[in-house]
Amino acid sequence: MPGSHATHPAPELPAERRLALVVATARYDDTALSQLRAPVRDEAALREVLSDPHLGGFAVTSLIDRTARDIRLGVEDFLTDRRPDDLVVVYLSCHGLEDARRRLYFAATDTRKDRLAATGVGSQWLFDQLGECRARRQVVILDCCFSGGFAWGSKGQSDLQLEWLRGTGRGQVVLTASRAHEYSFEGTPLSGRESPGSVFTSALVAGLRSGAADTDGDGFVSVDEAYEYAAKEVREAGVAQTPQRSLTGGEGKILLARSAAGIVVVPANLPEKWRVGLESASPHIRLGAVTDVGSWLTDPDPAKALAALQAFEEAAANDVPLVANYAHARLESLRPAPVRQRPPGSVGAKGPTAPPSPPLLAPPLPPPPSPPLPLPAPAVSPHRSGASPWGRRTRLMATGLVATLIVLVLLFTLTTSSVDRPLTGHDRAIASVAFSPDGKTVASAGEDGVILLWNASTGKPERLLRDARMTVANSVVFSPDGKALASGDIHGIHLWDPATGRLVRTLDKDAAVSSVAFSPDGRTLAAGAVDGKVRLWDPATGALVHTLAGHRDPISSVVFSPGGAYLATAGGAAVPAEGVGEGDTGVRLWNPSTGDLIRTLPGDSTKVQAMAFSRDGLALATACRGSSVWLWDPVGAKSGRPLEGHTSSVNGVAFSPDGNLLASAGSDNTVRLWNRDATVKVITSRFHTFIRSVAFSPDGRTLVSGGGELGRGVYIGGGHGGTAVERWDATTGKAL
C-alpha cells in the first residue's frame, strides 16, 4: 500500500580521489582570434560546483588564460602519478582550431592561427597524455566549436571533429558542446548585466548545482545524466548546436556529483502476502505481518524502508494494542532514546526505567487512583492493580444480594487456603501462567510487558520482572530445575534468575516470540515466533542450535514431550512440503536434537492455539480456535478425536501431573476439566470474560488461570480489566 513519497539527503560520494583540471582561455594575443566572454564564467561556475564538498567533492586545479606551454605542462602535471581508482575530469573552454590536414588544436593565449602545430595544444597530444594516465575513469568535457562562422555569439573558428577524439585510456567519456560543422554558442548578455557562460556549460553546471540532472532519483548525478540534462537544455534554448557524447572502454556508471535535491523516495509495494496479513481481521495475523514488514525497516533500499516505516506508523496509530504496542516499540528502537529524569524503577507511560535489579514487592502492589467513570454505576468497570473484585461486585449488586455476598465472604474465611481472591497486579490481559517446579511460585506474563512472580501460598507478589524493551509478554515458563525463567515477548526472549529477579540474557532481540518451552533436561529452549519459525537455543550459552522452518502462520505454541524425544509446534496450516498438503492441522513434530521434521499431524486445518503433552507422552492435546479440544496419538500419528463443550475459542490446555485430568481454558469464560472420555467439571471465571492460559501445580491439587476482559469495546489481547490470576481446587473446581 504505497503512501506519499519522502525526501532523504543524498548518500555520501564514494571514498575515492576525485580530481579535476579546468582550462579556460578567453584572451588571445593573435588579433585573428576573437576575444571570448564565456570561458571565464564557465571556469568559475564549474570550479564552484565541482569543488563543493557537498556536491562534486573534487580537488580542482584551474588554468586561466595561459600559454600553450603552460597548458601542456599543467596537463602533464595533473595526469602524472594518478592512481587506477582515481576519477579525473579535464575540461577545456576555448577556441577550437584545425589545420590544413583537419587536425584539431585548442587555442591558448599565445596561439597563432597560422602556426597551430607550434603554438596550439593538439587534441591528439591531449589524448596521448590521457592514454598514459593510470586513472581508469576519465571524463573529458570540451566546450569549443569550429571556425569559419561569423554568427553573433559563436566562440571558435574551426570544426570540432568528434570522431578524432579517441584515446587509449580505459573508461574515457568525452562530452562536447556541439557536433561537426556546428557552432558552440555563448549566452547573449543583457544590457548592463554580467556576461553569462556558454550555453552548454551553463546548462551542465545548472544540472549539477540543483540536482535536477539526477533523473533516476538515486541521489547522484552521473556523467550520462549530466550530459542528457545539458543536451536537453541546449535544445530548449533554440540554438543551432547539438551536444555529443563518446565512450571508449567504459567502466560503468561515473558519478559527477551528489544531488542537492536529495533522494525522492516513493514507497515500494509490499508483497501481497504482507498486504493481506495487514488487512486480516485477526490481530495475531496482523502482528505476524507487521513483524515480517519489519525486515524492510533497515533495508538499504530506501523505497522498501519507507514502505515499512509507513506500515509501522499506521499500525502504531490505528491498530489494537497487541499490534500497536509492537509497532510503536519497534519504531522507538530505531530512534535515539530520550533522556528521562525519573527515579530508578519508576513506571511511566512508556514503561519503567531499568533499575539495577527488579525490586521486591512487599506489601502487595497498591492500587492507583481510579479515574471517574463516564458510565453510570451499573456498568462494568475494568479492574485495576490491587483492586478488590468483591468491591466491584458489591457496587453492581442490588440490596437483595447482600446476603449472598455475606455467604461468599464466609466461604472465603472457611477455605483451607489463605488465598481466597485472585492475584491482581497486571494492567492488561494475562497471556500465560506457569508454576515453578517446587510449586511455591506462580509466574504470570502480561500484555502490559510485565512478568510477576507470586507466592503461591499467600497470593502476594514477590517480584516484578521488567526490561526496558519489553512491551507485550506472550509466554512464560520455568526451567525444570526452577533456577531459570524464560519469557517470550515481542522483543525476543528474556532469561531471568527468578530467585533474584536479575535479567541473565536476552536472545533473538529482533523476533516477536509468542511461545517458549524448556526441554525436560533444561539444556534446550524452544521459542516460536510470529515469523513462522521456531528457534532452539542453548540457554546456558545463548547459542542458536537449530532453526525450524515450515510454518506459514505465526507460531502459537511449542511444547516438548516428557522424554524430550519430540518437539511439537503449532502455527496454523503448514507450508506445503513433501507429503504435506494444505489441509493439515498445522501441528508438526520435530526431532529437537537434529532439527529434522518427523511428521505432521493429520486432520483439518483448524487453527491450534495451544498444546500439551500427557505425562506418558502418548497423548497430545490441542486447543483449537473452533471451540474444540483434540486428543492425538503423536507416536502412532493417529488422527485425533474432539472433546466438545466450549462455546468459543479454546486458548489453553494443560494435563495434570498424573495425566488423569486435562484442563482447557476458553474465550467462553470457562475452564473445563476432562478425563479422557468426557467433561468432569466446568469452572466459570468470576473475574474474566476470556481465559488465555491454564496450569496445574506440581502436586496436581491447584489450577491457576490467566486472562482478561472484553468489556467496553476493548479487544482481546489489549484488555485493561479483569487481569487477575485465578486459583481453583483441581479436584472440586472451587475457587480458592
The predicted model scores a pTM of 0.46
The three three-digit cell numbers of residue 641, written as one number: 478425536
Which region among 15-24, 531-540, 602-611, 643-652 has the lowest average model confidence (pLDDT)?
Answer: 602-611
- pLDDT of amino acid 710: 45
For 644, the domain range is: 389-729
Q: Which range has the worst mean pLDDT, 27-31, 86-90, 407-411, 535-539?
A: 407-411
Shared domain for 537 and 628, answered yes or no, is yes
Q: Which tens digit of pLDDT belongs to each residue from 486-502?
A: 999 888 999 999 998 89
Together in a domain, 174 and 317:
no
* 54 shares a domain with 118: yes
Q: Would 366 be classed as within a structural domain? A: no
CATH number of the structural domain spanning residue 119:
3.40.50.1460
Going from the C-alpha of 325 to that of each of 19, 33, 609, the distances in angstroms are: 52, 76, 21
Place of cell 510449586: 439
Higher-pLDDT residue of 537, 418: 537
Q: pLDDT at position 427, please? A: 67
Together in a domain, 22 and 109: yes
Residues 461 and 561 in one domain: yes
Q: Domain containing 670 — which CATH number? A: 2.130.10.10
Do 290 and 247 fall into the same domain? no
* 3-state secondary structure labels for all residues of 94-120: CCEEECCCCCEEECCCCCCCCCHHHHC
Closest Cα to residue 477, out of 553, 545, 557? 557
Residue 95 has pLDDT above 50, yes or no: yes
Indicate the number of domains in the chain.
3
Give the mean model confidence (pLDDT) for residues 504-513: 88
In this structure, is residue 383 part of a structural domain?
A: no
Instruction: Please tell me the distance from the alpha carbon of residue 598 to that of residue 605, in angstroms, as a whole number.
Output: 19
* Helix axes 199-210 and 223-237, enclosed angle (nearest 10): 130
Q: Residues 327, 402: one domain?
A: no
Asked whether the CA dihedral 716, 721, 726, 732 is positive or negative, the reply is negative
Sheet holding 441-446, edge to edge: 430-435, 441-446, 451-455, 461-465
348 burial type by CB count under 10 A (0-12 exposed, 13-18 middle, 19+ buried) = exposed
Residues 565 and 660 in one domain: yes
> How many angstroms separate the CA atoms of 163 and 102, rounded?
12
**Type of residue at 365:** L
**Co-location of 559 and 642 in the same domain:** yes
Residue whose cell numbers read 548578455: 189
**Is there a domain that residue 350 lies in?**
no
Distance CA 461, CA 393 (A): 23
Q: Which H or E run contains 49?
A: helix 38-51
Residue 261 lies in a domain: no
pLDDT band at residue 347 using 50, 70 and 90 as cut-offs: very low
Residue 209 has pLDDT above 50, yes or no: yes
The DSSP bridge pattern shows strands 525-529 and 263-265 to be unpaired
**Bridge-based pairing state of the strands 18-24 and 59-64:** parallel
DSSP character string of 539-559: TTTTEEEEEEE-BSSPP-EEE
3-state secondary structure of 125: helix
Residue 180 has pLDDT above 60, yes or no: no
Is 61 a member of any domain? Answer: yes
pLDDT, mean of residues 177-194 = 51
Higher pLDDT, 88 or 40: 88
Q: Give the whole-angstrom CA distance, residue 230 versus residue 198.
A: 11
Q: Which of 18-22, 142-146, 291-295 has the lowest mean pLDDT?
A: 142-146
Residues 418, 523, single domain; the answer is yes
Cα 485 to Cα 497: distance, rounded to the nearest angstrom: 6
For the ranges 112-116, 215-219, 388-392, the one whose mean pLDDT is highest: 112-116
Output the CA angle 663-666-668, nearest 5 degrees: 135
In a domain? residue 338 = no
In angstroms, what is the C-alpha Rg of the chain? 39
Label residue 252 exposed, middle or buried (CB < 10 Å: 0-12, 13-18, 19+). exposed
Asked whether residue 77 is domain-assigned, the answer is yes
- Name the residue with higher pLDDT: 391 or 255: 255
* pLDDT bucket at 223, cuts 50 / 70 / 90: very high
Q: Are 611 and 578 in contact (CB under 8 A)?
A: no
| Bigger pLDDT: 297 vs 179 | 297
Cell 444480594 maps to which residue?
A: 401
Q: 292 in helix, strand or coil?
A: helix
Residue 341: pLDDT over 70: no
Domain co-membership, 248 together with 306: no
Question: Does residue 373 lie within any of the structural domains?
Answer: no
Residue 516 sits in the same domain as residue 577:
yes
